[in-house]
Amino acid sequence: MSVEFATCTYQYRRGPVVLDRLSFAFPAGRTVLLGPNGAGKTTLLALAASALKPRSGTVTFAGLDPAVRSQLRGYRRQVGWMPQQITPVPGMTCQEQVAYAGWLKGMSRRDAWDGALEALERVGLAQKAGQQTASLSGGQLHRVGVAQTLVHSSRLVLMDEPTAGLDPAQRGTFRKVVEQLSESADVVVSTHQTEDLSEVYDHVVVLSDGMIRFSGTVKEFYAQAPNDTAAGRIADGAYAAVLGGGEAW
């Protein structure tokens, strides 16, 4: 099962067209979404999360179309989304902010409260549960954002640049979270980091200029690298080759 885009077009007001009649389905499992700044990655994930609506075309998941009013709530309960910018809610503690995210998804107050502490434990922030989110560092706030996607049982989890601001140890914790999530949900992560792809993800999707330039397994992605690419630079070589490769897949 996957989120599917059918001839989707999106254009910000008075801006250029970001996505133009895009038809694509993310593969099941753990997928990394790569692409340069301005490629349309954030827009694509926001459409998948139903935070944005396409100007034309459809986005569906599990047979649900968020453009249909009666299906929107059910769609959002199936999909967890961590946007690029996590905003602390004034006066709320970490546990309260994560629990609030669960409540917005339809959880009971008790289940959301208990689930919030469990989610914070999974991202290594249980000791900060009673601390106000406004006092957290940028990296800690990102981990709160990850916890907000974990608090309810999503079947699809979307994360936009979730490792930005995390140190190597925190990125290791994030990798473990992705592995755990993939046992019960499909995961799509947008990032600029190409290292350790094979240790975290099953599939690679490259988006550039609003078009899918590559979609395949990590092994197939590595195979795009030129033969003379230095060891340890295979991912970077493959990425550069795909972006310079002309026509979209």
What is the pLDDT confidence band of residue 245, given thresholds at 50, 70 and 90?
A: low
Enter the DSSP assignment of 110: H
- Average pLDDT score over the chain: 89
User: Is residue 248 in some structural domain?
Assistant: no
- Whose CA is closest to 42, among 55, 29, 33? 33
Q: pLDDT tens, 34-57? A: 999 889 999 999 999 999 999 999
User: Is residue 94 in some structural domain?
Assistant: yes
What pLDDT, on a 0 to 100 scale, did the predictor assign at position 246?
46
CATH code for the domain of 173: 3.40.50.300
User: Is residue 24 in some structural domain?
Assistant: yes
List the domain range (segments joined by +) for residue 24: 4-243
56 Cβ contact list (under 8 Å, min separation 6)? 7, 8, 9, 21
Q: pLDDT tens, 50-79? A: 999 999 999 999 999 999 999 998 898 889
CA geometry: angle 139, 110, 142, nearest 5 deg: 10
Cβ atoms of residues 67 and 53 within 8 Å:
yes
User: Is residue 249 in some structural domain?
Assistant: no
pTM of the predicted model, to two decimals?
A: 0.87
User: Is residue 95 in some structural domain?
Assistant: yes
More confident residue, 153 or 66: 66
User: Is residue 193 in some structural domain?
Assistant: yes
Number of domains in the chain: 1
